[in-house]
Structure 1
Amino acid sequence: MGSAWSGVSTETKSQIVPPIEKVTADSTDPRYRRLIHLLRLNHHEHAIYYHGLKYHNHLAYILVSAYMFGASVDQLNDIYDKESKELEQWTDSPEEIDPDNWRAHFGAKEYQRAYLHFFEDETIRTNATVWSFLTDRCVPKDGPSYRDNQLLHGLVEGVGHPLIHLGYALEIEDKGLAMEALTMAATSYQNVHEFVDNPSPPQTFLRITDMREIFTRIYDDDTFDAICERYGCGHPDRVLEEAPPYMLFDSYEIQKETMSTTFQTQVEAATLMFIASHKENNPQYDFFLAHAVTAAHALRIVLPQLSFQQAWHVLRSHMVLSTMLYISQCRPNIKDDLVRNIDTTGKDWDYIRKQALEGEHRYDSHYVKVLRSFYEFEKLYGKGESDSDPKYDLYLKAAVKFADTFKGWTGFGTSNEPSLDTKMSNGSN
């Protein structure tokens, strides 16, 4: 990475995970030309939010994921034609955004077009970068300075979409996607950052270094029953308003020396929460829990661009996001054997690519990008050392299980009974 618009700060970058393999721009490659053309077409034609500002435009995610899986020009065209049908055109914002008021409308999605114009204009006018806005280096002349990295700490707002978008932008070095990511960060900004900002959170009697332990403790804590009873599944935005304010956030301990291990355990925990929390013999996959997985994939791309201090905060933000999602989906029982016992005989990553590009759900953006996330996790961490390891071959098993048994998304709160294996469901163990 290192384009004028994407260059990182001069602070020492973390070495938590190695940088991703750079996607080489190749104007002679028809697949690459088509990808960039379709991304630009989407950028100019379709709003980031649609259907009453409730839904996110996911077209870029499936296009890039399919491209990375080897999609042909025709397949990319088909994806665009299919997925763009429900998107909406841009509409004007109530007013323009400028350097003096650019923080005034944080969290207001109706300003999406104005924020996009602002970020695009400022990167040209002032040579500002993505990181200038994320880390508070862009302030009006003689204006107040900011030191809490507002947007960086809020990347997981909006169920992680700003972080996910930024990951794709950096992976293929696309400025349009980066400006969209900043727009998402600004217009999604709410209150998650409040649980991430403090570099020295209050000490608690607990010291938890594994996100999975947080899930276990929350699962055993009946205090959280009221959230599911009141709202059902599918309302992560309610969690921070309704749940006990501590939620074990302050007990999560991340040390600089063990950040690599911390991130790996977060990836594993997010994967298992998503793939192994359904009822026995009834595979169901939760739409919201999928975002903990795809946000972890985005985090894998973003982390090498951050300093250790910045990475500390963003790792915590992914923990907060994952915990919110876990609680909002009624705290399902995570059972490792549901993925550990998957037989992958005759099924490898070529099989997964075929399912992503040619299978029944090839036009489902979340389906394709979850499979891609699992693939990237194995590239990063490998299979493990031996089949006696309970997490051996975790990511291929997760991908095969998901590809073979996915029938549609659950978790939207349309039924009184949770679809996953929770204490409120009849299939609880």
Structure 2
Amino acid sequence: MSASASADRVSSIRLEPGKDVGILHVPTVNTEAVQAAGRVLQQNHDDIHPFFSYMDRDGVHMHNHLVHHALTLVALGTNSDQVRHFYDINTPYQRPAVPINEGVLGNLSQSSVYKKSLGNEDNYTSFLRFFESEIAAKGVPGVLQEYMFAEDFKSDDMFVRMYMGLLHPLIHLGFGVEFNQPAIVAEALAQAAVHSDDYFFTFFHEAEALAKRPGVPKKSLAELVDLAAADENCRKAANSEIFDKMLDGVLKNAKAEFLNLAVQYRVEEDEIEVRTAELCNATAYITVGAQRLNKSPRMDFFLLHSLNVSIFHGVFAKQSWIPNSAKARLLTYTGRLALLTHISMGAPTMNLDVIRNYNAVNTESSWETVIERAVNHPDDGHAAKMIRALKYAEQVTAPYTGRAEFRVKGGDFLKAGVAIVDTLNPKGGKAGPYEDESWIRGAGFDDVWDSVPDA
């Protein structure tokens, strides 16, 4: 991304056919679909809030996925009608954008006002315009260096907020960088700014400090997931009745066990390429391996987000303007959060045999048919994002398939993709705990599997 941009450019979605098609895309991307995505994403940018819930009413931030869905559809080769259709079916439940608070916007350059305005969802549009103006003046690299990578209090605060809301701000940032859209980068920063950092700042920094002690061993994420699954305290830390399974489950009942494992996952500046590949493979392992023998395959809604964000570490790795120190820290934080999420879902024991032995509904399954079925699924984009991330993981981990820490091998990726699309609820719809969705929530909890059909 350029060092600077005009204010008009930063507030506009401008997708260029043949150029802005993503790190993983089909051989022929539909030009009209690219143009259609630009139009709908401009509407989203101008008119829609990043949350469709209200924290004071619902107690949780549920996220607008319109950007993620449209750009994934483009990369996977859909047409303009489908881009418009899926945008239209996912807009009725969205929140309108909140008006700018001129008193906030005009003073966000003051550190006291900036700090006081964080964590308030009503300040989203004010933060959006602020970050647009910052990017117009300093460029995306300059703004991300100042607000995310400088390793001072302000940037550390934003860095952690990117991980709130089940990784959605970081996923959004990834799309903005991947598709070369400063406006979407501004959206990601604004979205992160209005998330509360809750307890994440504390546990991320505690793990970071503990990991610097001499003699702390180092293990792969897959190894640590297996160790968590073998630890009774980790398995029993949460249950399906606990609402915040991270805070009131893992960090209340198994914090010492979690931190002991988390500090062993860390990435150094000289190993970005291989550890990016490892993260992609390990998050695939966490997602598609969390199955039950004698049950139909199901993907855990919370675990799949670790896989869905993994592709963007491939995007970040390719940006020469992102310091290797930041790339390593991003990988480290994502891996530690993936481990925390795994434990919060009951630390399920990984079992790839369920996927490897799965009998496909369609005997003519291929990546082409898997992708076609995913992009036509009428949900909010989670399925298509997962298939694209899985295909990217297959691609980026292929050179390392002989290494033990790369648990998901060769044909496992396509097998998993087939199982995912075979088990999608054809009704689709938005994801939510009270929705008729395709996912389970808590793959390590026995009661969660009661409603899943036997294999």
Shorter chain as denominator, the TM-score bin is: 0.7 to 0.9
Q: Is the 8 A contact 1:199 1:313 kept in 2?
A: no
Q: Structure 2 counterpart of 1:165, which letter?
A: H
Q: Does 78-87 or 280-289 show the bigger shift?
A: 280-289
Q: Secondary structure at 1:102's aligned position in 2?
A: helix
Question: In 1, Cα distance between the equivalents of 2:268 and 2:204?
Answer: 15
2:351 aligned with 1:338? no
Tell me what 1:30 maps to: 32
- For residues 23 and 301 of structure 1, what CA distance do their matches in structure 2 show? 13
Alpha-carbon distance in structure 1 between the residues aligned to 2:223 and 2:188: 31
When the two chains are superposed, the root-mean-square deviation of aligned CA atoms in Å is 3.5
The structure-2 alpha-carbon separation of the partners of 1:59 and 1:234, relative to structure 1 and needing over 3 Å to count, comes to farther
In the alignment, the residues of structure 1 paired with residue 146 and residue 168 of structure 2 have an alpha-carbon distance, to the nearest angstrom, of 20
Q: Which has the higher contact order (CA 8 A, sep 6+)?
A: 1
In the alignment, is residue 215 of structure 1 matched against residue 194 of structure 2? no
**Aligned AA (1:216):** D
Secondary structure (helix, strand or coil) at the match of 1:136 reads helix
Alignment of 1:124-203 (within 5 A): 124=136, 127-136=137-146, 146=153, 149-190=156-197, 191-196=199-204, 198=208, 201-203=211-213
User: How many residues are treated as equivalent by the alignment?
Assistant: 399
CA deviations over 1:234-255 (Å, ceiling 9, x no partner)? 6445457424152422222433
Unmatched tracts of structure 1, length 5 or more? 7-20, 139-144
Instruction: Find the residue that maps to 2:114 and give its secondary structure.
Output: coil
2:299 aligned with 1:285, yes or no? yes
**TM-score normalised by L of structure 2:** 0.77
SS in 2 for 1:86: coil
The aligned counterpart of 2:120 is 108
8 Å contact from structure 2 (residues 300, 441) kept in 1: no
Q: Which residue identity lines up with residue 209 of structure 1 in the other structure?
A: K
Alpha-carbon contact 2:72-2:384 (below 8 Å) kept: yes
- Which residue number corresponds to residue 323 of structure 1? 339
8 A contact 1:196–1:317 mirrored in 2: yes
Q: How does 1:238-249 map to 2 (within 5 A)?
A: 238=248, 241-242=251-252, 243-245=254-256, 246-249=259-262
Are the equivalent residues in 1 in contact too, given 2:49–2:97 (CA < 8 A)?
Answer: yes
Task: Specify whether residues 3 and 341 from structure 1 end up closer, same or farther in structure 2 by C-alpha distance, changes over 3 A only.
Answer: farther
CA deviations over 1:115-157 (Å, ceiling 9, x no partner): 1121123333xx123344433369xxxxxx7586442354222
1:37-48 to 2 correspondence within 5 Å? Answer: 37-48=39-50
CA distance in 2, matches of 1:302, 1:395: 23
Q: Is the 8 A contact 1:160 1:321 kept in 2?
A: no
Do structure 1's residue 365 and structure 2's residue 381 form an aligned pair?
Answer: yes
> Distance between the aligned counterparts of 1:38 and 1:322, measured in 2?
32
Deviation of the 1:229 alpha carbon: 4.0
> Which deviates the most, 299-308 or 210-219?
299-308
Q: Deviations over 1:142-174 (max 9, x none)?
A: xxx758644235422221111100111112212
Whether the 8 Å CA contact 1:374–1:395 is kept in 2: the answer is yes
Corresponding residue for residue 393 of structure 1: 411
Decide whether the 8 Å contact of 1:384 with 1:392 is kept in 2. no
For 2:359 and 2:282, the matched residues in 1 are separated by: 21
State the AA in 2 paired with 1:45.
D
Query: In 2 relative to 1, CA 3–64 (structure 1 residues): closer, same or farther, beyond 3 Å?
Result: farther
Match of 2:292, as an amino acid? K
- Structure 2: state its 5+ residue gaps: 7-17, 23-29, 56-60, 451-455
Q: Confirm or deny: 8 A CA contact 2:229 2:235 kept in the other structure.
A: no
Matched residues in 2 for 1:131 and 1:231: separation?
43
- Shift, 1:200, TM fit: 8.0
- CA change 1:275–1:410 in 2 (3 A) is farther
CA distance change for structure 1 residues 292 and 87 in 2, over 3 Å: closer, same or farther? same
> Are the aligned partners of 1:107 and 1:189 in contact in 2 as well (CA < 8 Å)?
yes
Separation in structure 1 between the aligned mates of residue 139 and residue 263 of structure 2, nearest angstrom: 32
Cα shift readout 1:381-424 (whole Å, capped 9, x = no counterpart): 348769x996122322221111112337999599xx97624477
The question of whether the paired residues in 2 share the 8 Å contact of 1:159 and 1:321 is answered with: no
Q: CA deviation at 1:58?
A: 0.3
- What is the CA-CA distance between 1:350 and the residue it aligns to? 1.0
Equivalence for 2:9: none
Single out whichever of 258-267 and 37-46 deviates more from structure 2.
258-267
User: How far did residue 45 of structure 1 move?
Assistant: 1.4
Structure 1, 91-100 or 397-406: larger mean CA deviation: 91-100
| Corresponding residue for residue 92 of structure 1 | 99
SS at match of 1:71: coil
Bigger helix share: 2
Q: Judging changes above 3 Å, is the alpha-carbon distance between structure 1 residues 350 and 130 closer, same or farther for their aligned structure 2 residues? A: same
Displacement of 1:342 after TM fit?
A: 4.2
C-alpha separation between the residues in 1 aligned to 2:354 and 2:416? Answer: 9
Q: 1:31 to 1:418 in 2, by over 3 A?
A: closer
Q: Which amino acid aligns with 1:78?
A: H
Instruction: Provide closer, same or farther for how the CA distance between residues 122 and 350 of structure 1 changes in structure 2, counting only shifts above 3 A.
Output: same
Deviates more, 1:308-317 or 1:417-426: 417-426
Question: How does the TM-score come out when normalised to structure 1?
Answer: 0.81
- Report the residue type matching 1:295 in the other structure: V
Q: 1:180 to 1:93 in 2, by over 3 A?
A: same
Change (3 A) 1:52 1:425: closer
Inter-partner Cα distance in structure 2 for 1:385 and 1:265: 10
Partner of 1:18: none
* Whole-angstrom distance in 1 between the partners of 2:381 and 2:417: 15
Q: Does 1:298 align with 2:312?
A: yes
Identity %: 19
SS class of match (1:55): coil
SS of 2:384 mapped into structure 1: helix
Counterparts of 2:288 and 2:348, CA distance in 1: 11
Aligned position for 1:314: 330
